[in-house]
């Protein structure tokens, strides 16, 4: 159990993220008895008609939330309201009988968070001991805007106070990757270019944009998934693993891996960075002729000697044949046998699978490939959701699952040539693919002339 008293302030309590993820996650943490004994959630809302019951409808332990959730109405653009909020937090601490850690979770769009950060700082809410700022992606739209955002945050909060959330890093399989590599000699000794032929990180979805045209037109697949989630998974895969007693060094290890990662130097940018759009997207997004990508395939390479010559591919897309998020390592072929394959699956059905060759029963020497599988759901009940770990680690002050500002800038450094090339190319090279196409097949479709 976290021992300190804590107050979690959720800005945007009536939003989709708070209702679907944050409040249910807090409910589960309460059931697991890992929250501080003295803990209060303060939900910030602009409206006076917001009530608690609809907000907690999706939570398992609604009784706990009724007792530990307070609503606080305020205008997020009015400085005086931040002074009222400060007084309210002090009153809660008086009830606790002690000062509390204060966590400010900005569950709001990025354009809204900018003035909130400033007003929190000007109200002195940043200077309280153990004040923490939790920020959701996107972390800018390019390297210039990311730099500007980081400088804005740093003007009011110290780096150790800031927690940039990437919930993919909090998924069990992603967390297990370090232990899996470090704790199993079989894989620890073969996790290098001598044995591994290629690395492929995949995040495919069956659904399209589902009515989120305005959002997706301002984002696209590169910003939505590649810049944050998938490059972070690549860094976890490529980094040097720390010893078990030094897991707090994981962000530095990820950063080092990102600094050695870039587009494949053997390919022109538009070949190393392929993009596509599912047929009908532009009409669904109400922007005929849109060049926004719903599919991305990046060919990358690392300058780390460990990964010399190993092609690294990141693929993501919407309206594809399958729904899957996984890290796939293909081992080098040995004589007459096809390659072994290691897959770490983040969704659906989190787990690990190794494809191995075995003799087929019978009188001849026929052989076939089978999978050795470990599925979390087969061995553990109530697998924690990613946001449970995100919230708990922030409360405990553990930064290992959060992206540093340096990591954010490195991901944008990797993608800047892609953004520039796509902007200059316009429609050229944009593959139009039918819905339900496999991710492998998309890259074989020639772009329209």
In angstroms, rounded to a whole number, what is the distance separating the alpha carbons of residues 157 and 102?
Answer: 13
**HSE value, Cβ hemisphere, 13 Å, CA-based, for 283:** 3
Look at residue 340 in the predicted model and tell me its pLDDT: 87
In angstroms, rounded to a whole number, what is the distance separating the alpha carbons of residues 354 and 331?
Answer: 11
Look at residue 85 in the predicted model and tell me its pLDDT: 98
Catalytic residues: 229
Contact between 390 and 170 under an 8 Å Cβ cutoff? The reply is yes
Contact between 282 and 427 under an 8 Å Cβ cutoff? The reply is no
Mean pLDDT of the chain: 92
* C-alpha to C-alpha distances, 322 to 225, 237, 328, 406, 409, nearest whole angstrom: 17, 23, 15, 34, 31
Look at residue 4 in the predicted model and tell me its pLDDT: 82
The pLDDT profile of the chain, 449 residues, written as one tens digit per residue, is: 455 899 999 999 999 999 999 999 999 999 999 999 999 999 999 998 899 999 999 888 899 999 999 999 999 999 999 999 999 999 999 999 999 999 999 999 888 999 999 999 999 999 887 899 999 988 999 999 999 999 999 999 999 999 999 888 888 888 888 888 888 888 999 999 999 999 999 999 999 999 888 889 999 999 999 998 999 999 999 999 988 778 788 999 999 999 999 999 999 999 999 999 999 999 999 999 999 999 999 999 999 999 999 999 999 999 999 999 999 999 998 777 778 899 999 888 888 998 877 777 777 776 777 778 888 888 887 778 889 999 999 999 999 989 999 999 999 999 999 999 999 999 999 999 999 999 999 999 999 87
Look at residue 2 in the predicted model and tell me its pLDDT: 53
Tell me if the pTM is above 0.75: yes
Q: 272-306: per-residue pLDDT in tens?
A: 999 999 999 999 999 999 999 999 999 999 999 99
Q: List the domains of the chain with CATH numbers.
A: 6-136 (3.40.50.720), 169-385+403-442 (3.30.360.10)
């Amino acid at each position: 159990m976290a021992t300190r008293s804590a107050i979690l302030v959720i800005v945007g309590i009536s939003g989709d993220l708070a209702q679907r993820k944050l409040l249910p996650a807090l409910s589960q943490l309460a059931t697991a008895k890992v929250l501080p004994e003295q803990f209060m959630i303060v939900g910030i809302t602009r409206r006076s008609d917001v009530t608690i019951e609809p907000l907690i409808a999706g939570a398992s332990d609604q009784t706990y939330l009724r007792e530990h959730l307070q609503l606080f109405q305020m205008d997020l653009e009015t400085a005086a309201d931040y002074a009222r909020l400060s007084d309210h937090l002090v009153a809660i601490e008086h009830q606790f009988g002690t000062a509390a850690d204060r966590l400010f979770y900005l569950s709001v769009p990025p354009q809204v968070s900018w003035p909130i950060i400033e007003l929190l700082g000007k109200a002195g809410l940043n200077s309280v001991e153990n004040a923490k700022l939790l920020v959701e992606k996107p972390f800018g739209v390019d390297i210039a805007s990311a730099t500007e955002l980081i400088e804005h945050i740093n003007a009011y909060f110290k780096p150790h106070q800031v927690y940039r959330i990437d919930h993919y890093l909090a998924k069990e399989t992603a967390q297990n990757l370090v232990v899996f590599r470090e704790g199993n000699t079989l894989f620890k000794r073969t996790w290098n270019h001598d044995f591994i032929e290629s690395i492929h990180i995949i995040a495919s979805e069956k659904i399209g944009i589902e009515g989120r045209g305005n959002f997706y037109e301002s984002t696209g697949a590169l910003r939505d998934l590649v810049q944050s989630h998938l490059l972070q998974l690549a860094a976890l895969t490529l980094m040097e693993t720390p010893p078990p007693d030094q897991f707090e060094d994981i962000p530095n290890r990820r950063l080092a891996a990102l600094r050695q990662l870039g587009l494949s130097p053997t390919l022109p940018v538009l070949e190393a960075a392929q993009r596509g759009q599912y047929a009908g997207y532009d009409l669904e997004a109400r922007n005929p002729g849109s060049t926004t990508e719903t599919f991305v395939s990046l060919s990358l390479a690392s300058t780390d000697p460990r990964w010399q010559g190993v092609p690294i591919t990141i693929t993501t897309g919407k309206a594809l044949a399958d729904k899957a998020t996984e890290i796939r390592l293909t081992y080098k072929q040995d004589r007459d046998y096809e390659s072994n394959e290691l897959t770490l699956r983040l969704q659906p059905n989190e787990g690990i699978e190794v494809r191995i060759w075995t003799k087929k029963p019978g009188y001849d020497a026929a052989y076939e490939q089978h999978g050795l599988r470990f599925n979390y759901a087969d061995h553990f009940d109530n697998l924690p959701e990613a946001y449970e770990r995100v919230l708990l680690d922030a409360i405990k002050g553990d930064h290992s699952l959060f992206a540093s500002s340096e990591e954010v800038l490195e991901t944008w450094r990797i993608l800047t040539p892609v953004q520039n090339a796509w902007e200059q190319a316009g429609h050229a090279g944009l593959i139009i693919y039918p819905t339900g196409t496999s991710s492998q097949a998309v890259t074989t479709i020639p772009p329209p002339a």
